[in-house]
Amino acid sequence: MPDTQPILTARDEPAAVAMDRQRMRAFVSGLLDRRDVFLRAAGRHGSPLYVIEPDVLRRRARRFTEAFSRESGEVDLYYAVKSNNHPEIARTLVEAGLGLDVSSGLELQMALECGATEIVFSGPGKTDAELALAVEHRDRTTVLIDSFGELERLGRIAEARSARIRAGVRLTTNPNGLWRKFGIPLEALGDFFDAADAWSGIELRGLQFHTSWNLDPRPQVDFIVRLGEALERLPAGRRAAIEFIDIGGGFWVEQGEWLQSDGSGEPCDSPAADRHYWRPAAAIEQFAERIAQAFGRHLQSRAPCRLCAEPGRWLCHAAAHLLLTVVDVKARDLVITDGGTNAVGWERFETDYFPVINLSSPELTERPCHILGSLCTPHDVWGYGYWGRSMKRGDLLLVPTQGAYTYSLRQEFIKPLPAVVMLQDDIVA
């Protein structure tokens, strides 16, 4: 896939357009070039199987870091653990120099065990026990406070332990609808600083916001402009205390959003196997350029802050895949695999499109076929076509780029979960 796409100009979410077949052939061909690696992994470990590639994580971390450092200078990056919570992914990215962004006490404990020395603890509804764990490990943890109530509870916990903990406050980017769940309204920022003054155990040093599903940097830039206007209204002393502003994550991968052939985002029983849709996305270098320009102009000009970000999906999307074996051929256009979509945790492939590649019978042709899992539900769908010459029992199938929001969402439902294997330089561990 090409590394760059044009930044979109429409204000609303762009309409899906027909995906170029040459684009898809090039993507599938690149995976078939590594066919023997996947066959060896399944030969050694069986299937269904998660395959995780640490080298991909390292390359992605390096590219993201270089893009933002080139534009912003000093930048702090925290991998969003929720996007894929396998400990080896977190450990690999910590070793690559990233911190970790956690959203629960469970994730915080894992981050500590992975050796992370820089951790931001975000998310709504933190329990007293979770806040106490953060205070206990305040040498490594910054709490991103989600509400006035959480501020009070954290303050009481810190004071009870005669401790001081570094903190920021999350700002909601949309005060309407379900997104208002996260953070405080922007207009309440001054009141929050005043409230924080009452707690000697809290050092309020930063701000955080998050916009999601960003196909280009406009949502982030738009909120940066609004935040800059809010900072202008704060007293100079308040602005001087802001050491960091965390812009969150939500960076879409440059291959864009791939959809099944109806293009509506709604489930479809039998979309065309040879026609798919996509929404293009900007390259990370374009995100970095636009965000850094806005950050410097609207935020750093008003507060002595450094840029922080919490990439998740962008880092791990291409770093993990699923291998499945055909266990039953019920018709020429209907097969059942040994793995079900409990491995990804949701009915993803009724709307999202990813090529199902027959590694046992490879060919750069996509043929219609219902590729279904072995769960006792009709929503257990992997795809409506496959890339290959034919399909028979025992064939090994690859569902690529399943690193983000699959492993973390897996669920114990009817069938066992896949095993996990780590690849090191294309060598099966």
Task: Report the pLDDT averaged over residues 24-41.
Answer: 97
The pLDDT mean for the chain works out to: 93
Q: How many CB atoms lie within 10 A of CB 333?
A: 16
Strand partners, 326: 337
320-331 and 49-52 beta bridge pairing = antiparallel
3-state secondary structure 110-134: HHHHCCCCCEEECCCCCCHHHHHHH
* pLDDT for residue 77: 97
Does the pLDDT of residue 123 top 80, yes or no?
A: yes
Confidence of residue 72 (pLDDT cuts 50, 70, 90): confident
Task: Report the b/e string of 198-216 with b at 16+ CB within 10 A.
Answer: ebebbbbebbbbbbeebbb
Does the pLDDT of residue 46 top 70, yes or no?
A: yes
Distance CA 36, CA 428 (A): 11
Paired tokens of 280? 């293009």
Q: Output the pTM of the full model.
A: 0.93
Does the pLDDT of residue 428 top 80, yes or no?
A: no
Distance CA 345, CA 408 (A): 8
Of 17-21, 164-168, 391-395, minimum mean pLDDT range: 17-21
Query: What are the backbone dihedrals phi and psi of residue 384, each rounded to the nearest 5 degrees, phi first?
Result: -115, 15
Task: Give the class (CATH, top level) of 17-51+318-428.
Answer: mainly beta
The fold of 54-316 is TIM Barrel (3.20.20)
Paired tokens of 346? 């949701």
Please measure the distance between the N-terminal and C-terminal CA atoms of the chain and give it in whole angstroms: 28
Residue type, 21: R
CA angle 53, 43, 419 (to 5 degrees): 55
* pLDDT for residue 426: 62
Q: Where are the domains of the chain?
A: 17-51+318-428, 54-316
Task: Report the pLDDT averaged over residues 143-161.
Answer: 98
